[in-house]
A and B are shown apart, each in its own frame.
Chain A
């Protein structure tokens, strides 16, 4: 995206386009990422409820992959995940490894 110069920015930094924060990808802030292990998932959707950034995608009542464009790697989903028989369905993996 081409950045605007100072003559093009809106007076007073007012944002006139509703919902434009969607365009602001924040996934690059992440230092570790959650990885979903479907075999351990009981579809409780706790991760979907707890995710502060709506980065867990759910379709037809079933959870799908993470949306890594917005996931900041906070790890709340991995913490809350009850897993199956003591095996977590979400684990945190350091980025770049």
Chain B
């Protein structure tokens, strides 16, 4: 039976990790993730989990310890934010390239400099090409649900890739929301037992991890890893289907909101999607056909499905909570543009950068964007393909 509670995003995710009861956790504290791992370490101290908690001196070490523990044969977790994720960079590629199904909540926070501790997507966006699967979460419930689903996705025998669960720093990690928890037993049954394919600790079958692969083989391994990525969407949908039977909550590769008959649309990740949906309702009440698409599986990005869902629109704005210096557009914009490119008829596509460093995203920001999209849809004229909103000009 589901239990309804009022908890923060960090508390909800920590509880999901307790219910999964992993073998090893190697973590280092960083705002706004700190309170999630603090809660998890209490579960360890209180004997609520059998997890071996490894206290390390940095995130480079935490991810390195995770790689070793996962290769050894354990079900392994960690969590981080911002600079911590940046420090892990080198080892993120090793975890994915070695096909180790490590699960890591990432509490999204801006990158330094200037130093800032608040919510934006710069951290996980920089890591989007590290070979990790990324699941993004609008609210604490989605973060909890995605955390539980991350294990069977990561550990699926066809996949064996690490998974990041992204949730907005402070906005979700530290705000109290209504959450439905599954029972411990339900979660345990859902994730099942983990069996590493080639555990280092199986001394009857000795194996070597991390060999030097020279030009005669490197490309074959990378090609094989690319192929695994093509199988992720199906597994994510299968796991979501099983999860729906358990929880009643439906998940897909992305969520659409009033999009099917829409003429103008917004693509936006995570918590800001909630605000945008309210404003879309207001526009619908005025007779304006507005809709929304919120990516969930952002890596590997489901290009075909996303393009199909958006191609009928007249005008579309992608809102990015991260900027790409040296590129013309935000990261999500570039992916949406690529997903629409194969279609002959497609919407006019514009990009807005918002909410950097925890800057509030307010309903009036969504209104400004939707009003501009109405103009673009009517006239076909674009005054600027990329703009910053909510910034002092």
Contact = CB atoms under 8 A, between A and B. Distances in A.
B207 A13 contact: no
Contacts of A6: 219-221, 223-224, 227
A7 B223 CA distance: 9
Interface in A7-22: 7, 9, 11-16, 18
A6 B228 CA distance: 11
Given A3-B216, A3-B217, A14 B224 contact: no
Contacts of A18: 206-208
Contacts of B197: 11, 14
B357 to A, nearest CB: 37
A2 to B, nearest CB: 12
B218 to A, nearest CB: 9
A14 B209 contact: yes
Contact of A15 (B100, B208, B219): B208
A16 B205 contact: yes
A4 interface: yes
- Contact count band on A: 10 to 19
B114 interface: no
Interface residues of B, number: 24
Contacts of A13: 97-98, 210-211, 213, 217, 221
Contacts, number: 51
B198 interface: yes
B220 A14 contact: no
Given A4-B220, A6-B221, A16-B198, A11 B211 contact: no
A10 to B, nearest CB: 8
A53 B197 CA distance: 32
A15 B97 CA distance: 14
Nearest to A19: B206
Contacts of A11: 99, 160, 197, 224, 228
B101 to A, nearest CB: 11
Interface string A15-31: 11010000000000000
A9 B218 CA distance: 10
Interface string B214-257: 00110111011001100000000000000000000000000000
A9 B227 CA distance: 12
A14 B216 contact: no
B211 A15 contact: yes
Interface in A43-96: none
A13 to B, nearest CB: 5
27 contacts: A5-B220, A6-B220, A6-B221, A6-B223, A6-B227, A7-B224, A9-B217, A9-B220, A9-B221, A11-B99, A11-B160, A11-B224, A11-B228, A12-B97, A12-B98, A12-B99, A13-B97, A13-B211, A13-B213, A13-B217, A14-B198, A15-B207, A15-B208, A15-B211, A16-B205, A18-B206, A18-B208
Given A9-B220, A16-B198, 13 more contacts: A3-B216, A6-B219, A6-B220, A6-B221, A6-B223, A7-B224, A7-B227, A11-B197, A11-B228, A12-B100, A13-B221, A15-B207, A16-B205
